[in-house]
Amino acid sequence: MSRREELLAEMGLAPIWRLRTRPTAEKRAAGQWIELKQAVPACTACALHKTRAQTVLGVGDEDADWMLIGEAPGAEEDRLGEPFVGQAGKLLDSMLAAIGLKRGDNVYIANVLKCRPPGNRNPEPEEVAKCTPFLKQQIALIRPKLIIAMGRFAAQTLLASDATISSLRGRVYRYEGVPLIVTYHPAYLLRNLPDKAKAWADLVFAKKTMATL
Ligand code: URA
């Protein structure tokens, strides 16, 4: 310790040049969000960048307890840059309302893929593999209490499983330590109305699960 530092210590003061602290976890996370929000629109890791209008990172509360994950942007999402804004999104919003939740309010919505597959075809395994690190980082930054994987692609990707939705429902899994439950995709429910009752049961199960977390 230098004489100057000794004198300051005697006065109970810390030298200003020692006061520079390491960035807080909060500041680090803010920096990582900025990087992610720049990296996703600049991504050319798969061919989907050639046909997208824009990337669709996600929407909502970045400190949310609830995180819902779908498959990939559709035409409307590609146009507007927000997930679940088409017909399936309207159904998702009413499903959320049914359990007292609202898009953007303690809820974050994202997709496995950040770019629209042309003609809304299914995502290719290579596209999923290239895009999953973005989703992983989103989850790490949001640190939700509960993830709801909606549909086959989200569930199978996050659980590294090829099981069907119907066999995966009704249990709590973990993704990177975060509790995760599985339900039907809203677009599937639009085509299969009788399964809406099962999706309702899944949401009730999710709500009960959240109450225990
Ligand atoms: N389907 C999805 O999986 N995600 C969207 O954002 C829209 C439709």
Provide the pLDDT for residue 2.
Answer: 73
Q: Give the model confidence (pLDDT) of 131-174 as tens digits.
A: 999 999 999 999 999 999 999 999 999 999 999 999 999 999 99
**DSSP letters for 137-185:** HHHHHH--SEEEEESHHHHHHHHT----HHHHTTS-EEETTEEEEEE--
Provide the pLDDT for residue 133.
Answer: 97
Would you say the CB of residue 73 lies under 6 angstroms from ligand 1?
yes
Show the 3-state SS of 42-94: HCCCCCHHHHCCCCCCCEECCCCCEEEEECCCCHHHHHHCCCCCCHHHHHHHH
**pLDDT grade, residue 7 (50/70/90)?**
confident
Q: What is the mean pLDDT of the chain?
A: 94
Q: In this structure, are residues 95 and 186 in contact, taking their beta carbons and an 8 Å threshold?
A: yes
Would you say the CB of residue 61 lies under 6 angstroms from ligand 1?
no
Provide the pLDDT for residue 20.
Answer: 58
Would you say the CB of residue 83 lies under 6 angstroms from ligand 1?
yes
The domain spans of the chain are 14-212
Cα–Cα distances in angstroms (integers) from residue 19 to residues 5, 31, 206, in the given order: 12, 21, 45
What's the whole-model pTM score? 0.89
Of the residues 116, 185, 189, 191, which should be mutated to test ligand 1's pocket, given the most ligand atoms within 8 Å of the CB? Answer: 185
- Which tokens hold the place of 5? 């530092």
Shortest-distance Cα residue to atom 3 of ligand 1: 71
Q: Give the model confidence (pLDDT) of 52-92 as tens digits.
A: 999 999 999 999 999 999 999 999 999 999 999 999 999 99
**Which atom of ligand 1 lies nearest, measured to the CA of 112?**
3
Please state, in angstroms and rounded to a whole number, the distance separating the CA atoms of residues 33 and 121: 29
Taking residues 174-182, report their average pLDDT.
Answer: 97
Provide the pLDDT for residue 21.
Answer: 63
Predicted confidence (pLDDT) at residue 43 exceeds the cutoff of 80: yes
Distance 188 CA to ligand 1 centre (A): 11
Provide the pLDDT for residue 5.
Answer: 73
Provide the pLDDT for residue 16.
Answer: 65
Q: Which helix or strand (DSSP H or E) is residue 111 part of?
A: strand 107-111
Residue that the structure tokens 């039907």 belong to: 184
Of the residues 54, 55, 59, 71, which should be mutated to test ligand 1's pocket, given the most ligand atoms within 8 Å of the CB? Answer: 71
Would you say the CB of residue 117 lies under 6 angstroms from ligand 1?
no
Cα–Cα distances in angstroms (integers) from residue 44 to residues 26, 41, 71, 115, 168, in the given order: 29, 9, 19, 10, 33
Q: What percentage of the chain has pLDDT greater than the value 90? A: 85
Q: In this structure, are residues 92 and 99 in contact, taking their beta carbons and an 8 Å threshold?
A: no
Fold of 14-212: Uracil-DNA Glycosylase, subunit E (3.40.470)
